[in-house]
């Protein structure tokens, strides 16, 4: 099981059951995104680009995906970022917090298992960000939790692609419970593929 953020060509070869020269060929032909270490001939491949490559070519990703669950928080209230991080144990989760929908574009690179998404962001409606995420093939299994100070109808949010909803202000235990439930849902989706 690899929990690393970057891999050597040897590690990628082992994960993909090929030789190192094959991995180098993939990088040089730009099939697999990688980079050379400055002042060296050694190459490195990021977890995100390797995962994307393996999924594209239907190479089993079991050993690669067993790291910490990734949670992306998108909330326009920056003070909420600390609250989110304190609710989740950073030893068990990889957490990223952003404050604008535009910044949520990192989701494509971060490949979270769960997105906690505020419905009213400063630059865009949360439902538009949800639509964007749902259009990314690599994120077909991600769960999305909508949060808002305004009351919203769950059935309408489900139609827009959300998996669940929580109204602010919320109890930290309620958020933690929703997160665990939705991460289990993401895990079941991945296993059924």
Q: What is the pLDDT of residues 103-140, one digit of tens each?
A: 667 767 788 899 998 887 767 787 888 888 888 888 88
Same domain (yes/no): 33, 82: no
On the question of pLDDT at 144 being above 70, the answer is: yes
Averaged pLDDT, 144-171: 84
pTM of the model: 0.63
Say yes or no: 108 and 31 in one domain. Answer: no
Considering the domain architecture, whether residues 166 and 111 belong to the same structural domain is answered as yes
For residue 64, tell me if it sits in a domain.
Answer: no
Residue 48 shares a structural domain with residue 75: no
Residue where the block lists tokens 């490949």: 111
The verdict on residue 140 lying in a domain is yes
Q: Kindly state whether residues 185 and 136 are assigned to the same domain.
A: yes
Structural domain boundaries, residue 14? 6-56
Quote the Cα angle for 14-17-18, to 5°. 95
Q: What is the average per-residue pLDDT within 9-31?
A: 93
Alpha carbon dihedral 27, 108, 160, 76, in 10-degree steps, equals -170
Instruction: Give me the pLDDT at residue 63, please.
Output: 66
For the chain, give the mean pLDDT: 83
Q: Where are the alpha helices (DSSP H) in the chain?
A: 9-16, 20-28, 47-56, 79-87, 107-110, 126-134, 154-159, 172-192
The C-alpha angle 168, 176, 139, rounded to 5 degrees, equals 90
Are 101 and 183 found together in one domain? yes
Residues 179 and 125 in one domain: yes
Task: Tell me the residue ranges of DSSP E strands in 62-113.
Answer: 70-74, 94-98
**Nearest-angstrom CA–CA distance, 172 and 64:** 30
């Amino acid at each position: 099981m690899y929990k690393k953020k970057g891999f050597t060509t040897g590690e990628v070869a082992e994960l993909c059951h090929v030789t190192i020269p094959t991995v180098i060929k993939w990088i040089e032909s730009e099939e697999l995104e990688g980079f050379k270490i400055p002042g060296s001939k050694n190459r490195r491949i990021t977890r995100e680009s390797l995962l994307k490559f393996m999924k594209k070519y239907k190479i089993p990703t079991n050993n690669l995906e067993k790291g910490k669950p990734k949670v992306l928080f998108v909330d326009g209230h920056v003070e909420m970022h600390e609250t989110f991080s304190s609710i989740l144990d950073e030893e068990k989760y990889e957490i990223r917090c952003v404050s604008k929908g535009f910044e949520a574009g990192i989701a494509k690179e971060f490949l979270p298992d769960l997105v906690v998404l505020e419905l009213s962001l400063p630059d865009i409606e949360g439902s538009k960000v949800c639509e964007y995420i749902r259009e990314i093939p690599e994120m077909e299994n991600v769960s999305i939790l909508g949060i808002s100070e305004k009351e919203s109808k769950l059935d309408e949010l489900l139609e827009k692609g959300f998996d669940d909803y929580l109204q602010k202000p919320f109890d930290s235990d309620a958020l933690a419970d929703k997160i665990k439930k939705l991460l289990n849902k993401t895990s079941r989706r991945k296993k059924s593929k």
